[in-house]
Structure 1
């Protein structure tokens, strides 16, 4: 099925399909030789995330550095999205290479971009089909996931409940914002990829997820990087939050991932239960916002 789609695309666009990794989801290909440079994302029709992604990318086109969608088609039970191929390398590779001076600059730019180009768009209840935050219904998810130990669920519910009163006004959120979904050009210019998990929700969900990702994967440099990220964000727009709200927003993202892992392999489920436990025990006190 996929091979047939690839042959059709190669013939139609006179290109060679090259599989992409790093910042792109599975079944994403560079259409080498196509003019202008293009990328094809191929997903099952049952994957509603791709429909959500298309809606968001069309909404932000012209106001955010993200690929333009050229065509959306369906064939053989699959959805094909043709979009711009952006320049640059995956920003996470800069952290993995240990270039912390450049990484700090990128984190400051990440904060500025998130505030200016994404969170600057307030919630629009009509006219779009973009996913809504399910935070209010998360308690049901927490109570019904059998592979997560009940004590971790109860502790999560307590922390989420305690932070609910301070939820911020909804804006457009990326849903998986971070260096792993950014392309960085040599001059530091950033492009945002992979909007599948985007939704209308609290801006703190994105802010917390960047800090969570960095604390978990780069603990030795997370203080420096997250400080640069928050400083960049606050240079564009004010954002007031407490460490408790930061932890609650991180838990929101972790539980949404756990919910998606209901039929995942046991080892994947165990790893994310471990990450849940880590999040519950982690101290977010060094992160703070200002109004």
Structure 2
């Protein structure tokens, strides 16, 4: 891939040489590459996002659309890596290029390492501020996305049922969670641009706080509470279960700051429905990823290990619904 990439980068930065091309770990459905491109004495630190062997959920955006949304987010003032170029065919797969920022995104490190203690204190309000900017992007600017369903919760539920059917095996706890959701629909909210995967693990951190919001492949038009509740899913606490907001803090300050910036009046109790849905969705996502490995579509220990996480999500669904009564 080095030669193909050098040709593309030469058109952007001028003739030079790729002096580093390193595939990074993680990324359940997309390849991630650290790239250093040298032109004379200048080295450009870059990040390449390239299509992988499959997708986690139906409706996952193409990289062309994800790149377009990244450009809109940057124009809105959202903290994102600078988008540089989209490549429709980089050795048989689409890809796009961004400036590489320094920081940490591995969730288990963010929630535990002492050097990020100051950042963790600031993170709940910083997360709220970024979500407020994302949700303020005018809908007419994202008219290229499918129109939002009305109500948005019904579309989210139907998609979850479709994903469950595609697995083609029984998972009673997931099915019970979906049945509860169908029988307890939430009140409707006006649609916004939803990031779709806003959580610890997709936020780049340094020791002072939030650096950038990453991974926009699940962006869509939907209910703002979907983004607000997604970081409450237990899997995204990375073992720091007592801190409901992504293992770094409490929901109250996060939601208070979001409401103050957006003029919304979303109560913490409204997030419960979406938290249950989030656990169902990630349980389904883990099963679908494992099947990519089991079917031989993409042999990967990481994908195989993801399959066991479904049981944790099922346990969490049962716990949440029993506690709720």
Deviations 1:75-119 (CA, angstroms, capped at 9, x unpaired):
43211211122243337333121454531211221122212x111
User: Which residue pairs with 2:79 in the alignment?
Assistant: 65
Please name the residue that 2:240 is paired with: 218
Relative to structure 1, the CA distance from residue 268 to residue 24 in structure 2 (aligned partners, 3 Å threshold; closer, same or farther) is closer
Q: CA RMSD in A?
A: 3.6
Mapping of residues 1-291 of structure 1, within 5 Å? 2=1, 5=4, 13-15=16-18, 16-21=20-25, 26-34=30-38, 36-44=44-52, 48-63=61-76, 64-73=78-87, 74-90=89-105, 92=107, 93-98=109-114, 99-115=116-132, 117-124=133-140, 127-129=143-145, 134-138=155-159, 139-143=161-165, 145-149=167-171, 151-213=172-234, 214-215=236-237, 217-222=239-244, 225-227=249-251, 228-237=253-262, 238-241=264-267, 243=269, 245-257=270-282, 258=284, 261-262=287-288, 263-264=291-292, 265=294, 268-282=306-320
Distance (Å, rounded) in 2 between the aligned partners of 1:226 and 1:23: 27
The answer on whether the counterparts of 2:84 and 2:97 sit within 8 Å (CA) in structure 1 is yes
Q: TM-score, normalised by structure 1?
A: 0.78
TM-score normalised to the size of structure 2?
Answer: 0.71
Query: For this pair of structures, how many residues does the alignment match?
Result: 282
In the alignment, the residues of structure 1 paired with residue 279 and residue 16 of structure 2 have an alpha-carbon distance, to the nearest angstrom, of 40
Displacement of 1:53: 1.5
In 2, the alpha carbon distance for the partners of 1:131 and 1:3 equals 39
Aligned-residue offset at 1:219: 0.8
Instruction: Point out where structure 1 has 5 or more consecutive residues left out of the alignment.
Output: 287-291
Q: CA deviation at 1:29?
A: 1.7
Inter-CA distance 278–19: structure 2 relative to 1 (3 Å threshold): same
TM superposition shift of 1:222: 3.0
Contact 1:44–1:77 at 8 Å: present in 2 too? no
Instruction: Name the structure, 1 or 2, with higher relative contact order (CA <8 Å, separation 6+).
Output: 1
Distance change in 2, residues 1:165/1:253 (3 Å): closer
Q: CA deviation at 1:235?
A: 3.3
Residue 166 of structure 1: SS of its match in structure 2?
coil
Q: Residues 230, 21 of structure 1: CA spacing in aligned structure 2 closer, same or farther, 3 A cutoff?
A: farther
Change (3 A) 1:154 1:105: same
CA contact (8 A) 1:71 1:83 kept: yes
Unaligned runs of 5+ in 2: 56-60, 295-303
* Distance in 2, Cα, partners of 1:126 & 1:102: 32
Offset of 1:225 from its aligned partner? Answer: 0.5
Cα deviation per residue 1:230-275 (whole Å; 9 max; x = unaligned)?
Answer: 33323323242453x4233134334444157432446533421431
Q: Do the aligned partners of residues 285 and 235 (structure 1) sit closer, same or farther apart at CA in structure 2, a change above 3 Å counting? A: farther
